[in-house]
Structure 1
Amino acid sequence: MSGWSLHELLAGLHDKVEQSLNQARKSFAHSGTKGDASEAVWVDLLNTYLPKRYQVDTAHVVDSHGSFSQQIDVVIYDRQYTPLIFEMHGIKIIPAESVYAIFEAKQTINAMYVGYARDKAASVRKLDRTSLAVPWLGGKAEAKKPHHILSGILTFESDWSPPMGKTMTDLLDSAPDESLLDIGCVAAHGWFGRGVDGQTAVTPGGKPATALLMELIARLQEIGTVPMIDVRAYARWLIE
């Protein structure tokens, strides 16, 4: 169609995110308020552009044994097949089986915030996830093995110089498996992703927020659906 440009549409999406993050940094003096605003920018982006089978919120994650994760800034979870999404005083509680991906959202990336992101990733990945055989017309399919939960960090700026150089990648690649970060965005500078070789690759410049969104969708597609939750494992808490 004359006058339309896919390049401009994709570029405009990133520009909107970068502008919103920059505005949050400049508009709010209190660090907590800046953090809340940054989280809201990313949550809004993902809720708007991810397929509707996914939902995105700030939340805690719980398993059927009653263990809870730390508070997670950005949780991508299933809303099509998963019951038991709780809300208490505005705080979401999400069963571990429904979680696809988690992110720490900050104004900047540095060693301390990478550490926070790692700790939160580990606090979710260590939770137990039930999985039941799935009934279908031909009988029952085998229970799905719980997938790898994606994790990452989303920021506007970087405290390092260069902003996404060897200092960052060496740090990201030094974590134990349960706390490794798979993907992330520094909106003013670029995005990164862990490759099949286990090493972090950086894509500098361009339109990082849009690139991150598209790569995230591709990785979510690779996961497929979440395992079938055993609601009876949670129901036992009603009689204990």
Structure 2
Amino acid sequence: MAEWSLSQLLSSLHEDIQQRLAVVRKSFNHPGTKGDASENVWISLLETYLPKRYQAAKAHVVDSLGNFSQQIDVVIFDRQYSPFIFTYENETIVPAESVYAVLEAKQTADASLVAYAQEKVASVRRLHRTSLPIPYAKGTYPAKPLIPILGGLLTFESEWNPALGLSLDKALIADLEDGRLDIGCIAAHGHFFFDQSTSAYSFVDENKPATAFLFKLISQLQFSGTVPMIDIEAYAKWLTK
């Protein structure tokens, strides 16, 4: 009986993602088709390996005031405590309270794409989110503080090949407020993340970037906690408008 190798398993996971992204890049000429296929590769990875409390999908995000985000390539949202997710004509609309992370997925990272991803992330973070007190057998827990929504960038390559160098850092630090990108993966080269303790970006150049990114994302989601209790009545008010 062959011996299992954890190192080989983790390496194979990354190689599968990188190969699928490479096939998308080479096989599809239409930008829209290529973009959709790239997003599906990342969504498939997250849907397979994230805990089942999370779901990943291309979606818009809406708040109880009726504001919508831009369309987000990959939204990671709660499916354990969130009472409703809208789907209409293959479009998914997620209430702002249920969102854990939003990520932009493209083929190649450059300064303009970073700015575009920051704008997309900001369109979600600026939405209004409700949080209600949570009843239990002996009383009521206070309303939970809103969890931070993670922002991220997913690409196959980078114009700063072969390393993630200073140019990427310069683009990332252009917006450290609503558009801040907390985490990202450039599958051909490495991954990066924003270190809250130093208020600076760390760039990791390794041979299994997709796997390393996945582990880092799961770790950050663990520390995010649980989404707040949504005020359904705030959304129900739109029934009378």
Q: TM above 0.5, one fold?
A: yes
Q: Determine the C-alpha separation between the residues in 2 that align with 1:8 and 1:142.
A: 47
Moved more, 132-141 or 43-52: 132-141
Question: Which SS does the other structure have where 1:115 is aligned?
Answer: helix
Q: Secondary structure at the match of 2:41?
A: helix
> Per-residue displacement from partner, 1:74-123 (whole Å, max 9, x unpaired)?
00000111022001110000000000000000011001111111001100
- Show the 5 A alignment for 1:1-240: 3-196=3-196, 197-240=198-241
Q: In the alignment, is the contact (CA less than 8 A) between 2:85 and 2:92 conserved in 1?
A: yes
Letter in 2 for 1:9: L
More displaced, 10-19 or 155-164?
A: 155-164
**Aligned structure 1 segments of 4 or more residues deviating by more than 3 angstroms:** none
The alignment-based identity, stated in percent, is: 55
Q: CA–CA distance in 2 between the matches of 1:206 and 1:194?
A: 20
Give the whole-Å Cα distance in 2 for the aligned partners of 1:39 and 1:12: 20
How much has 1:147 moved relative to structure 2?
Answer: 1.0
Q: Which runs of 5+ in 1 are unaligned?
A: none
| Contact 2:162 2:189 (8 Å CA) reproduced | no
1:179 aligned counterpart, secondary structure = coil
- Point out where structure 2 has 5 or more consecutive residues left out of the alignment: none
TM-score by length of 1: 0.98
**Separation (CA, whole Å) in 2 of partners of 1:236 and 1:97:** 16
* Matched residue count: 240
Q: Residues of 1 paired with 2:58 and 2:172: CA distance?
A: 23
Q: Secondary structure at the match of 1:219?
A: helix
RMSD of equivalent CA atoms: 1.1
1:138 Cα deviation after fit: 2.4
